[in-house]
Structure 1
Amino acid sequence: MKNKTVAAWLAFMGGPLGLHRFYLHGLGDLLGWMLPIPTALGLYGIQRVQQLGQDDHYSWVLIPLLGFTIAGCALQAILYGLMAPEKWNARFNPAAAADAPAGRTRWATIFAVGLALMIGTAVLMASLAFSFQRYFEYQIEEARKISQ
């Protein structure tokens, strides 16, 4: 039996590592194995910023990968948490009854949805702000070089 609350928390807390995919689809899930790649690239982008400073062009691309991965996993946690019990059990527990307890929404599910909404939105907006700010600062600097 695949529990909706467990899946929502795994998507929120361990989503960038693919833990929710492995829980729901098993260790043979290709997307679950691919999720750590953008996570690792984003962490590498953060490391580049710490070592080379904020003017590193590659970090402008790499850091949003981490942010988009975290935001996407938070969105997946929201979708899992808000899924109707009948739909959840039909999709992930097909042998169980439509109203099986594994698909019910509990308070822990609601907390996972709320935290995923708050943190996922904040991470997404911070990633976009960092990337766009660095990109436009770069454009202004290049325009200054051309005008001189």
Structure 2
Amino acid sequence: MKNKTLAAWLAFLGGPLGLHRFYLHGLGDLLGWLLPIPTALGLYGIQRVQALGQDDHYSWVLIPLLGFTIAGCALRAILYGLMTPEQWNARFNPQSAPDATPGRTNWFTIFAIGLSLMIGTAVLMASIAFSFQRYFEYQIEEARKISQ
């Protein structure tokens, strides 16, 4: 029996590592094995910024990968938490009754939804702001080089 609350928390806390996918679909899930790749690339981008400074062009691409992965997993946690018990049990517990306990929403599910909404939105906005800021600063630098 797959528990909706546990799946929402795994998507929120361990989603960038694919933990929610492994919980729901097993260790053979391809997407679960692919999720750590953009996470690792984003962490590598953060290391590049710390080592080389903010002018590193590769970090502009790599860091948002981490942010978008975290935001996507937070969205998945919200979607899991908002599924009705009938939908949840039909999809992940087909052998159980439509209103079985693992598909029901409780306060821990609501907390997972709320935290996912707050943190996921903040990370998404920060990733977009970082990407656009670095891109436009680069465009201004290149325009100055051309004008001189």
Task: State TM-score, norm by structure 2.
Answer: 1.00
Instruction: Map 1:42-81; keep pairs closer than 5 Å.
Output: 42-81=42-81
Matched position secondary structure for 1:95 = coil
Are 2:137 and 1:137 aligned? yes
Which residue in 2 is equivalent to 1:2?
2
SS for the counterpart of 2:55 is coil
Q: CA deviation at 1:92?
A: 0.0
* Amino acid of the structure 1 residue aligned with 2:6: V
For 1:23 and 1:105, how far apart are their aligned partners in 2? 18
Q: Does 1:114 align with 2:106?
A: no
Who is 2:27 aligned against? 27
Q: Aligned equivalents of 1:120 and 1:104: distance in 2?
A: 23
Deviations 1:85-113 (A, max 9, x none): 00000000000000000000000000000
For structure 2, list consecutive stretches of 5 or more residues without a partner in the other structure: none
For 2:100, give the aligned amino acid: A
Q: TM-score, normalised by structure 1?
A: 1.00
Aligned partner of 1:18 in structure 2 is 18
Work out the percentage of aligned pairs sharing the same amino acid: 89
Cα distance in 1 between the residues matched to 2:19 and 2:4? 14
Query: Could you list the runs of 5+ residues in structure 1 that have no partner in the other structure?
Result: none
Report the equivalent of 1:40: 40
Q: CA deviation at 1:49?
A: 0.2
State the match for 1:99 in structure 2. Answer: 99
Q: The residue matched to 1:99 in structure 2 has which SS?
A: coil
Distance 1:30 1:138 in 2: 37
Letter of the 1:23 counterpart: Y
Runs of 4 or more, structure 1, over 4 Å off, are: none
**RMSD of aligned C-alpha atoms?**
0.2
